[in-house]
Amino acid sequence: MKAIILAAGYATRLYPLTLHTPKALLPIHQKPIINYIVEQMETIQALDAIYVVSNHKFYDQFEAWAKALCCKKPITVLDDGTTSEENRRGAIGDILFTIETMQLDDELMVVAGDNLFTFSLQAYVDFFHKMGKDCVCVKPIEDYEALKSFGVAQLDQTGKLIGLEEKPKEPKSNLAVFATYMYRQDTLPLFARYIAEGNKPDAPGYFVEWLYRHKDVYAFTFEEECYDIGTEKSLREVSALFEARELQKK
């Protein structure tokens, strides 16, 4: 299994914090967001390589971060060559860029570099292997307005995806999809097909919205926390939560 951490965005909603620092390297309780993701990935025995996709602007910062990090898994930082919001590849474009650049032909885990989660990544991988199908992870959210900012999934009684809509005006369920995905080896060639057909290259959920119409996709449901760091307010709130959690441990 290989893993891609998507970190090539420009996070303009977090300006001025992200003018000179990539979002994934912003600290949460004195540790970069991306470190929490890597720590979870280190627990996955089947995972043998991590690829961090950066834009050209922040590539050097990610390279320095990777060299300084003590990690059991090999980390490769890729420069996707983009320099601004105007010429960015989009998340799906970056996944395809990584697959083609590194000639990936294996099971694939994809995680957004701004996602902080407390569920067990190993439990998710175990579920993925048990099902033998591509997987998304979902969490029930009862805040109807909050659901409008997520991808919202519909499942059948077996947990198979039968509907997915990114940022719906009228959510059809309470199941929010978070940006951590598991793909089978035979799904990787479909990223090129998706892009070639002219589909949206932006949010990674758009690919799943297309994929479930072509292949079975199942949902791993979790109850733990998962935070999408999108604004300065959410950064402060999550940092305070993690700090309080650490204080409780002492």
Identity at 220, one-letter amino acid code: F
From CA 145, how far away is CA 137, in angstroms rounded? Answer: 20
From CA 68, how far away is CA 62, in angstroms rounded? Answer: 10
pTM: 0.93
pLDDT digits (tens, 9 = 90+) for 24-73: 999 888 889 999 999 999 999 999 999 999 999 999 999 999 999 988 89
Outline where 75-219 has alpha helix (H).
Answer: 91-101, 121-131, 144-147, 189-196, 205-211
From CA 184, how far away is CA 107, in angstroms rounded? Answer: 5
**Which domains does the chain carry?**
2-249 (3.90.550.10)
pLDDT digits (tens, 9 = 90+) for 129-181: 999 999 999 999 988 888 888 889 999 999 999 999 888 899 899 999 988 99
Assigned token pair, 133:
């199908």
pLDDT digits (tens, 9 = 90+) for 4-16: 999 999 888 888 8
